[in-house]
Amino acid sequence: MVRGILKISQISKIYISKYPLIAFLLILLFFYSSLVKAESYAVASRHHLATDIGMKVLNEGGNAIDAAVAVAFALAVVNPSAGNLGGGGFMLIHLAEKNETFSIDYRERAPIKSFEKMFQDKSGKVIKGLSLNSILASGVPGTVSGMFYASEKYGTINIKALISPSIELARKGFVLSEYQAKNLNKYKQKFSKNQEAKKIFTKPNGFSEGDILVQTNLANTLERISQYGEEEFYSGETAKKISSFFQINGGILSLEDLNQYKLRILKPVCGSYRYYVICSMAPPSSGGIALIQILNVLENTDLGKLDHNSEEYLNLLISAMDYAYKDRAEYLGDPDYSEVPKDILTSKKYADEIFKQIKEKKLPSKAKINVFEGEETTHFSIVDKWGNAVSNTYTLNTAYGSGIIPTGTGILMNNEMDDFSSKPGYPNAYGLVGSEANKIEPKKTPLSSMSPVIVFLHKKPYLITGSPGGSTIITSVLQEIINVLDFKMSLEESSKKSRIHFQHLPDILFHEQLDNSLIKSLKKDKKLINRKLGEVHSILLKKDGIEAFSDKRRPDGKASSIYK
């Protein structure tokens, strides 16, 4: 603005006296150009090929929803460990023209024939591995339904054009990175239990960097879906291939399950944090409620005045996480099956009470329950030139889901049934135990931590973010939000900062690289485990431009942006 005033001053000195009409028109032109919003758009995702496909859609005039659908189908091909057709997830959408924000719950549902004790033997003991690696491990997939709904309701490009690049990638193949080759080899034993998975995802001497991964049956399935629509997956040839495979191999997922799948449109959980508004997923995700609760607690302190990752700062985060994860374990589940006290858990008054307890160094009583889900999820963030935004997280649960591909489909199936409580009070594959609210019931949705987020400033998207990581998703996204909003970091700076994770049970502080003196001090109260946490893909919309960044904790991710 100061520069503008100087320019006007210069114009007035030179032209007003000699050319008053020209001077007037130049001043009008300046003010008009200052009001015209620069075009900016971006995509941040786990795989560079998916990001490129999304950017191509935006470059050619598609909106954020079009790009999201194209990216989701692409990740099903190039990121088979988590991108999927055989899983499900959550999509958070902001429509700029309507100033409307909502979410699509296209998470997996428990099959009709599922029941509470299906993973227990006659004596009531949980059968190890049955909820993870068996034919019983899969919930009814929702991804295809979610993508078609988003495209048909809010997209501008025919979905055939959005699926087309993925068909080509699956049929012709794509080049494996070193990371992907090693990851496929790591799960060779898992793939070897299923004939089709073994054929596609294993090699006698293992994969190497530069190998081409071809998925012909997946290409054929994508072609059928492109031609015949959503019905192909839920009642057509593909549905029959899936249900027949499960029936022949002793599974319970049926054609009736696929026919009856229904997604849900949910109102996001939103809360104020300083002068921002944070919106994320409502139950059956625990992400939105836990995030808002933790941020409400932290709002009682001026975090920006603390040293980042100092002992005082980390202890405050740990305490707030402790309370939030205890409540998550006790109260959260599918809202269609159990009452969730959302308003209480996200209230400022409740947060103030928690903060008072923290200041008095009182710990929450130890819950007897907790939940955990697989970490091999994937997230992408998108914003278009009109200001529409998509934050999407979807998953197969653990890496490559159950490792099972129904014959002739190329579709890796999820193992989301492990996200339920196989037995309330019994630890699942990750050493955590589940609650009564999250017990197995027909058509029910398992509790999730997936936390797609849109942060608003002055009612416009400011930060679009999310992460994979199972129960560490919430804390990874939390620290991204704090780093950007409180410490004014760039996305790259935030990504480089070490993260922590604490979830009430087990009593373990997970951490990335910290100072030795800090680790020594933290060890006095807790067991510590060093590991990578999260993989955040974010877009930051600033006054003077746009920043997009994909976490470098894993390779292959890419963020692209245009500002003009």
**Are 318 and 344 part of one and the same domain?**
yes
Residues labelled as active-site residues: 377
**Are 436 and 471 part of one and the same domain?**
yes
The whole-number pLDDT of residue 9 equals 43
For the stretch 204-232, pLDDT in tens is 999 999 999 999 999 999 999 999 999 99
The three-class DSSP label of residue 174 is strand
* Structure tokens given for 337: 């099956």
For the stretch 467-512, pLDDT in tens is 999 999 999 999 999 999 999 999 999 999 999 999 998 889 999 9
Looking at this protein, which amino acid is placed at residue 91? M
**Are 93 and 79 part of one and the same domain?**
yes
pLDDT for 43 beyond 60: yes
CA dist., res. 435 & res. 420, Å (int): 9
Number of domains making up the chain: 2
The whole-number pLDDT of residue 421 equals 83
The whole-number pLDDT of residue 375 equals 74
The whole-number pLDDT of residue 36 equals 40
Among left, alpha and beta (phi > 0; psi -120 to 50; other), residue 408 is: left
For the stretch 403-419, pLDDT in tens is 999 999 999 999 999 99
Other CB atoms within a 10 A radius of the CB of residue 186 amount to: 13
The whole-number pLDDT of residue 369 equals 59
* Structure tokens given for 457: 């400033």
The three-class DSSP label of residue 378 is strand
Residue of 338, 327, 239 lying closest to 288 (CA atoms): 327
For the stretch 44-90, pLDDT in tens is 999 999 999 999 999 999 999 999 999 999 999 999 999 999 999 99
- Domain assignment present for residue 194? The answer is no
CA dist., res. 292 & res. 342, Å (int): 10
* Residue 143 Cα distances to 68, 90, 400, angstroms: 12, 9, 15
**Are 148 and 6 part of one and the same domain?**
no
- Domain assignment present for residue 187? The answer is no
**Are 30 and 140 part of one and the same domain?**
no
**Strands 508-511 and 527-530: what pairing?**
parallel
pLDDT band at 429 (very low <50, low <70, confident <90, very high): very low
**Are 10 and 144 part of one and the same domain?**
no
**Are 23 and 50 part of one and the same domain?**
no
Instruction: List the single range of 29-33, 72-76, 81-85, 199-203 with lowest mean pLDDT.
Output: 29-33
Mean pLDDT computed over every residue of the chain: 92
Residue of 451, 456, 449 lying closest to 466 (CA atoms): 451
Question: Could you give the residue ranges of the DSSP H alpha helices within 36-158?
Answer: 48-59, 64-78, 130-133, 143-154
* Structure tokens given for 458: 């002055």
Cα-Cα-Cα-Cα dihedral sign, residues 61, 66, 68, 74: negative
CB 419 within 8 A of CB 433: no
Whether the ω angle into residue 284 lies within 30 degrees of 0, i.e. cis, is yes
Rounded average pLDDT over 93-115: 98
The whole-number pLDDT of residue 329 equals 86
pLDDT for 3 beyond 80: no
User: For residue 138, what is the domain's CATH number?
Assistant: 3.60.20.40
- Domain assignment present for residue 184? The answer is no
* Structure tokens given for 541: 């919309």
For the stretch 329-380, pLDDT in tens is 889 899 999 899 999 999 999 999 999 999 999 989 876 655 556 678 999 9
Looking at this protein, which amino acid is placed at residue 227? Q
For the stretch 244-275, pLDDT in tens is 999 999 999 999 999 999 999 999 999 999 99
CB 245 within 8 A of CB 407: yes
pLDDT band at 438 (very low <50, low <70, confident <90, very high): confident
The whole-number pLDDT of residue 202 equals 98
- Domain assignment present for residue 342? The answer is yes
Among left, alpha and beta (phi > 0; psi -120 to 50; other), residue 370 is: beta
% of the chain residues with pLDDT over 90: 84
Rounded average pLDDT over 390-398: 97
- Domain assignment present for residue 201? The answer is no
What residue numbers bound the domain in which 532 lies? Answer: 37-173+214-564
Instruction: List the single range of 36-40, 209-213, 305-309, 324-328 with lowest mean pLDDT.
Output: 36-40
Which class for 391: exposed (0-12), middle (13-18), buried (19 or more C-beta within 10 A)? buried
- Domain assignment present for residue 340? The answer is yes
**Are 83 and 13 part of one and the same domain?**
no
* Structure tokens given for 96: 């700029």
This prediction's pTM: 0.92
- Domain assignment present for residue 154? The answer is yes
* Structure tokens given for 419: 């996200």
pLDDT for 164 beyond 80: yes
**Are 31 and 58 part of one and the same domain?**
no
Place of tokens 């409580």: 421
Task: Give the side-chain half-sphere CA count within 13 A for 517.
Answer: 3
- Domain assignment present for residue 198? The answer is no
**Are 351 and 432 part of one and the same domain?**
yes
Rounded average pLDDT over 6-14: 42
Residue of 229, 264, 255 lying closest to 142 (CA atoms): 264
The three-class DSSP label of residue 255 is helix
Task: Give the side-chain half-sphere CA count within 13 A for 101.
Answer: 23
**Are 556 and 523 part of one and the same domain?**
yes
Residue 463 CA, distance from chain mean position: 14
**Are 30 and 104 part of one and the same domain?**
no
CA dist., res. 163 & res. 221, Å (int): 11
Beta-carbon contacts of 460 under 8 Å, excluding residues fewer than 6 positions away, are 96, 387, 541
% of the chain residues with pLDDT over 70: 90
pLDDT for 442 beyond 70: yes
